[in-house]
Structure 1
Amino acid sequence: MSKQLLPDFPPSPLDSYRNLASFDWRKLKLFIEPAEIVEYKNEIVELLKGNPAFHPKKLETLDDVRRDASIKMHEGFYLQEFKYLGMLDNVRKMHAFNEIIVLWDTSFSVKNSINNAMYPIVIRALGTKKHIGMIVKVLQGEHFGCFCLTEIGHGSDTKRMRTRATYDKESKGFIMHTPDFEAAKCWAGLLGQTATHAIVYAQLYTPDGTCHGLHQFVVQIRDIETLQPLPGITVGDMGPKIGLNGIDNGFLLFNNVHVSKDALLNKNVDVTEEGVYVISLKDPSKRFGASLAAISEGRLNITNLCSAYLIQGITIAVRYAAVRKQFGPNDDEEISIFEYQTHQHRLLPYLAGAFTFKFFSSHICLEQYTNYVNTMNGEQRKDAVDYGFEMHGISSACKPVISWFLMEALNEFRQACAGHGYLKAAGIGELRNDADANCTYEGENHVLNQQTSNWLLKFWPQILEGKIIKGPMESIDYLSRGKEILADKFAVDSVEHIVRPEYILRMYKWLVVYLLKSSYEKYERSLKESNDAFWAKNNNQVYYARSLSVAYINHYMLHVFLKRINEAEDPKVRNVLERLFALYGLFTLERSLGHLYKGGFFVGEKPATLIQDAVLKLCEDLKNDAVSLIDCIAPDDFLINSFMGKSDGKVYEHLQNELMGGEGNMSKPNWWKEVLHSKL
């Protein structure tokens, strides 16, 4: 069965490394994804191959790019049917579908995520039965939805957003108004040219002039037959960007537009016909917590997208490194650049990161998809508030850490592939441009980090009081032993010991608790000195709270990875995964040496030396496995989009085809007369 599903690769320049692998790549592949998911992905790829609308095209203008993305959205609805078929029974297929379309076309993937995930999820989570029809319309392709939170003058500072929705007793509806251009909604994907409806975040005012804060409204903005803006609505496109130009990001202004009372998503709050504001959840923190899981969806989708990008990039870089030869120990022998220690260190920690993120994103997205499906079925978690806060903390930390790591990796891959990597056909440059947006949208990374650290800081007093700390996602449970963990000291004397997964997690636990204590105490000192909570919190980020958020999520990702490793039955599969775990854990832990020494966990030069020696040894040990590890996670060649990264390893043959077949590559320019010294 496995050979039929996963046939042998044809003879290839990559065979010299494939033959050295310490494990059976098919067993690892089927451990990462069960056979039914591998088969399902293959079916999706075949569907893409079979429809000309989904094939790569040369797109000259911004309008061409937008048109192509929009046609894919239209044609993609038969893929959506494929996606949603049986989704209630197998949320893994939803995740598998999203992994494929991210690699096939990122712009379509993001548009799909906005239209078919974020938009309906927020409506279902915060709306009531009367809003269900809106979800059906968008999933059937009759409506296109977008998500309008950010304004021209304010992005992360949601409290100061100024779009208004004032309840009008006479018309029994709301008057939506944008006071000036700085209050215009902006950057919303699909808003620029295609969205017919929008979830708009606006300050809700009752007739007595009271502002009740930011609320969500579902508003029709364009005619569904003509796509013309409705009266009183100004909507436009943000224009060309440095990447992701298939997404029509737009801006939106209202000029005293009347909308129905039903536009308010009223699960937790409502306004009576007489204009009285009513709250169903009296506790503001519970009301806030219940809504957090829904708005975490976008950040988790970005996490999945970044994981797929990293897999794409590391596939290109590793396969090229295995084929490319430079220099050697003598004049008769030229060796692969992958044999050099510097090249191993440049690539293999990012390969380890790719596996860590893949297991983590699968875990966290499946958790969220399951919650989504249950919510769509009307089921409410008993721990919805705690789940919302913890999922918000996780998503606000993982999105920054993974997107930063990705950008760092793609820059390294581009340089590691040297001159050939600078070609557009190498695929890394456009990947890097598209990936850059992940650091900004769905929350600027530093602001998100601060949201996670603010949540974590609340636990330090509980640690001091000896309270039990427990979360639905198990990301904070070890904090209950915070005082015991903080008393720990470095206690190993060999590379063999320091690479053990349990000890790496032990070091990370100490780091998180130390940073939690240090950040809390720094905040308290600043608060005492300034008596200003705002500045005390903001002056607590560099070296403290920001590092806390990063350490917390790295520990949790490794915790999730190790749980999955422990499910492996094949000892060789387990062994190679443990080495990947150790490499990512120690590579990222090395960046916190200052904290580990400052807090007294490390003393003397030995701990740092052991970490560095272990990283280099792990790189050396994983070098022969790298190509086969890539084979386990690499996308189909149809999705690679690089002459360097295909599974046949024929880098130079593909490059020759690119150079010889490139438009204009073999002809003189049409302006040749203008550059001659003598005019003909």
Structure 2
Amino acid sequence: MQPLFASEPSIEDQLYRILNSTRPEYAWKLRRYFEEHWEPSLSFQNEGLDGFREKTHFMVRKLLQADLLSLAELNQKPSEYMKFCEHSCWIDGSVAATLFGHFLIFGGSLVFLGTERHRSLVDVADDFRLPGCFCMTEVGHGSNLAGLGTTATYDAERGEFIINTPSWRDAKWAIALLAWNARVVTVMAQLYMPDGECKGIHSFLVPVRDEEGRPLPGVKISDVDWLIGLNGVGIGGAMFEQVRIPRENLLNRFADVTAEGKYVTSFDSPGDLFRAQISPLMIERLVPFAVAGMKIALAVAARYGKERRQFGPRGGPERPIIEYSSHKRRLMPGVAETYAIAFMLERLHLEADVTMPEPLPTPLQPLCASFKAYSYETATRVIQNARECCGVHSFRHINKIARAQLDMHGFAHAAGDNVVLFQYAGRILLEDFAGGKGPFKEAAEPDASACSVTCVKHQELFAARFSQLLDYTRGEFMKHMGEGMNRGDAWNEILTFAIELGRAYAIRETHKQFLRVIGACAPGPAKDILTELCELYGWSTLSANLGWYRDVSDGSLELSALFVERTVLEYSQRLAPKLDLLVDSFGIPEVLLPAADLMADLPGKFS
């Protein structure tokens, strides 16, 4: 591995820089840390539930005490957390999810929603001396955050808020760290003033455990127990029975209750206030769980494909399975998709760096929502396929790829269900498509002269599909409204197409960002490889919805099913010799990867 700024970087290092373009120096710092300081013993074997959690939280504490990350800088350099999260995901999804729950969501609530009076908590949360979590989701309300049932009633005589859970359906649920060691939690609740007026959703700091780990009076904590993934986190739920907290425990960046008992805010309505409180936390949709899982799954599958031998000529040696054209066809489109998603995330992380601590701009919100859903939808499929490429050895947790797949099912629900996010993006796009402009203020349209003709034609098809869906869905909605249908019923009639609109938007913008990256590359081998990858990404994406693209095609690109499938195979075979280069460029430290043959411990089982 060459120094990051070698005078003549290798192709691998060029690709690594492009994949980490927002923070290349910081990514390199993390890579060196793991290569120099992470012990191979810091991995999971076959621990029970408590052992799994204990080891997870030990690793999180070690990482947060390594002086690699600071909550004080989260609102200035959120992309550093994103890189940190990606590397922690390569240890294990539970480690990444615990960091997410404690550092980004709980710590982020202190940074983004709190003020100077909460500064002391930032310092002790920074290195995990004070484990915390963010309690938003409820059993009976799910992602309907405005309809949360937990209440915070202000007692003016004592200057306290009373936190209460009306019923078990209003219990906080599926909250990271809550079942294990969280001592202070940020609770989203409906704020009621003494006169009974509801001021809407606000965020409150509520202690839930003492220093010995015992639940405090009025706090009932539950454990979700075994899940299909993320079992090291300690995911749980909580109910609050008339729990009193000081007035100062209201996170008061956007609204406050004064010492005199007066409610103050600069917002005109609870809805505007709610959106302001939520928007800084929407950065969680940019967390790279999906791409991190894709990278490690493909790295494991690529290494295994060279080691695993199966069948071969009669009387001759068995052949490495990577030599079979079918195996190349299974793996290579996923590599192309991984690069595409990584490039879009880098762009979004750059936007977060520029924007925070202010909320992400409105034009970015449909992209953040739809891209989050698209990336996790893609990751679930790519990881599953990579796991199947590793045969029976992929079933074992010790080999990481099985747990990467299972953990991805949990990650896919963080920050919103995929279908709900596509639906949310579709609604915004239908209501106001930002004046016809793209989501990035400072990003020009890709330079067609710097990209291949094939890439340009693919982008035209993706754009045409989006435009067709936008026009059709908007037209159907207006037709139903014109026939006297109320707004809610009209929306329900077009919901399927609104979801598809959100998906089409994510694909269009992801491919467009790939073209921007290619256009910014200097001529040479790295650019040539990325162009081929982009073409493969385009063809494989077309193949998944061929009927749509035939409908909007101008006929300049052949789109027969046989031609498209043959083309995907040809690109897969052409790029397969570069598979090692492509996955090595992910930069996953060797200490975080299982043995290439996934059988390192098997001799001992038969001795």
**TM-score, normalisation: structure 1:** 0.80
CA offsets, 1:104-135, max 9 Å, x none?
A: 13212211122222223233322333223322
Q: Which residue of 1 aligns with 2:584?
A: 631
Alignment of 1:63-462 (within 5 A): 63-79=50-66, 81-84=67-70, 93-223=80-210, 225-273=211-259, 275-282=261-268, 287-301=273-287, 304-328=288-312, 332=316, 335-369=319-353, 371-372=355-356, 375=357, 380=358, 384=359, 387-459=360-432
Residue 43 of structure 1 and its aligned partner are, at CA, apart by 2.5
Alignment CA distance shift 1:607-1:188 (3 Å): same
Contact 2:511–2:538 (8 Å) recurs in 1? yes
Alignment CA distance shift 1:168-1:552 (3 Å): same
CA offsets, 1:598-641, max 9 Å, x none?
A: 45656997465554443222212212111221121151221013
Residue 159 of structure 1 and its aligned partner are, at CA, apart by 2.9
Contact 2:136–2:187 (8 Å) recurs in 1? yes
Instruction: Pick one of 459, 463, 470 that aligns with 1:509.
Output: 463
Contact 2:466–2:501 (8 Å) recurs in 1? yes
RMSD of aligned residue pairs (Cα, Å) = 3.1
Residue 508 of structure 1 and its aligned partner are, at CA, apart by 1.4
CA offsets, 1:467-497, max 9 Å, x none?
A: 564644569x98xxxxxxxxxxxxxxxxxx9
2:40 counterpart of 1:44: no
Residue 586 of structure 1 and its aligned partner are, at CA, apart by 2.4
Residue 546 of structure 1 and its aligned partner are, at CA, apart by 1.2
Query: In 1, distance between residues paired with 2:559 and 2:139?
Result: 52
Name the aligned partner's letter for residue 72 of structure 1.
M
* Secondary structure, aligned partner of 1:74: helix
Contact 2:223–2:237 (8 Å) recurs in 1? yes
Query: In 2, distance between residues paired with 1:435 and 1:241?
Result: 12
* Secondary structure, aligned partner of 2:346: helix
Q: Which residue of 2 aligns with 1:534?
A: 488
Q: Which moved more, 1:270-279 or 1:153-162?
A: 270-279
* Secondary structure, aligned partner of 2:539: helix
Name the aligned partner's letter for residue 265 of structure 1.
L
Q: Which residue of 1 aligns with 2:574?
A: 621
Contact 1:191–1:251 (8 Å) recurs in 2? yes
Alignment of 1:482-501 (within 5 A): 500-501=454-455
Residue 155 of structure 1 and its aligned partner are, at CA, apart by 0.6
CA offsets, 1:386-426, max 9 Å, x none?
A: x3434432222122211121111122122222334344444
Residue 162 of structure 1 and its aligned partner are, at CA, apart by 0.8
* Secondary structure, aligned partner of 1:549: helix
Residue 239 of structure 1 and its aligned partner are, at CA, apart by 1.2
Instruction: Pick one of 15, 25, 28 that aligns with 2:15.
Output: 28
CA offsets, 1:355-376, max 9 Å, x none?
A: 112222233234324544xx3x
Query: In 1, distance between residues paired with 2:430 and 2:123?
Result: 41
Contact 1:270–1:279 (8 Å) recurs in 2? yes
Name the aligned partner's letter for residue 326 of structure 2.
T
Query: In 1, distance between residues paired with 2:274 and 2:564?
Result: 42
Alignment CA distance shift 1:85-1:138 (3 Å): closer
Instruction: Pick one of 563, 588, 605 that aligns with 2:516.
Output: 563
Query: In 1, distance between residues paired with 2:144 and 2:72?
Result: 40
Query: In 2, distance between residues paired with 1:170 and 1:196?
Result: 27
Query: In 2, distance between residues paired with 1:28 and 1:605?
Result: 31
Contact 1:103–1:639 (8 Å) recurs in 2? yes
Query: In 1, distance between residues paired with 2:14 and 2:571?
Result: 22
CA offsets, 1:432-480, max 9 Å, x none?
A: 11111122232111111111111111126x7xxxx564644569x98xx
Contact 2:160–2:246 (8 Å) recurs in 1? yes
Query: In 2, distance between residues paired with 1:46 and 1:411?
Result: 28
Residue 177 of structure 1 and its aligned partner are, at CA, apart by 0.7
* Secondary structure, aligned partner of 2:503: helix
Query: In 2, distance between residues paired with 1:606 and 1:353?
Result: 20
Query: In 2, distance between residues paired with 1:443 and 1:634?
Result: 29
CA offsets, 1:30-61, max 9 Å, x none?
A: 444487446413321145425x8x62254432
Query: In 2, distance between residues paired with 1:370 and 1:188?
Result: 30
Query: In 1, distance between residues paired with 2:71 and 2:258?
Result: 39
Contact 1:219–1:263 (8 Å) recurs in 2? yes
2:544 counterpart of 1:591: yes
* Secondary structure, aligned partner of 1:219: strand
Q: Which residue of 2 aligns with 1:648?
A: none
Name the aligned partner's letter for residue 625 of structure 1.
K
Alignment CA distance shift 1:39-1:86 (3 Å): farther
Query: In 1, distance between residues paired with 2:300 and 2:145?
Result: 40
CA offsets, 1:527-579, max 9 Å, x none?
A: 4456232232233232x111111111122222222222222224211010011
Query: In 1, distance between residues paired with 2:557 and 2:85?
Result: 47
Contact 2:70–2:126 (8 Å) recurs in 1? no
Alignment CA distance shift 1:289-1:271 (3 Å): same
Name the aligned partner's letter for residue 306 of structure 1.
A
Contact 2:71–2:111 (8 Å) recurs in 1? no
Structure showing greater radius of gyration is 1
Contact 2:364–2:439 (8 Å) recurs in 1? no
Name the aligned partner's letter for residue 601 of structure 2.
E
Query: In 1, distance between residues paired with 2:589 and 2:218?
Result: 48
Name the aligned partner's letter for residue 308 of structure 1.
A
Q: Which moved more, 1:516-525 or 1:122-131?
A: 122-131
Extract unaligned runs of 5+ from structure 1: 7-22, 479-496, 645-650, 667-680
Contact 1:293–1:389 (8 Å) recurs in 2? no
Query: In 2, distance between residues paired with 1:83 and 1:599?
Result: 48
Q: Which moved more, 1:423-432 or 1:438-447?
A: 423-432
Contact 2:106–2:133 (8 Å) recurs in 1? yes
Instruction: Pick one of 549, 562, 572 that aligns with 2:502.
Output: 549
Alignment CA distance shift 1:554-1:185 (3 Å): same
Q: Which residue of 1 aligns with 2:448?
A: none
Alignment CA distance shift 1:498-1:82 (3 Å): closer
Query: In 2, distance between residues paired with 1:178 and 1:429?
Result: 38
CA offsets, 1:217-260, max 9 Å, x none?
A: 1222222x222222211123221212111101111111111222
Alignment CA distance shift 1:170-1:108 (3 Å): same
**TM-score, normalisation: structure 2:** 0.89
* Secondary structure, aligned partner of 1:500: helix
Alignment CA distance shift 1:418-1:69 (3 Å): closer
Alignment CA distance shift 1:280-1:27 (3 Å): closer
Identity of aligned residues (%): 26
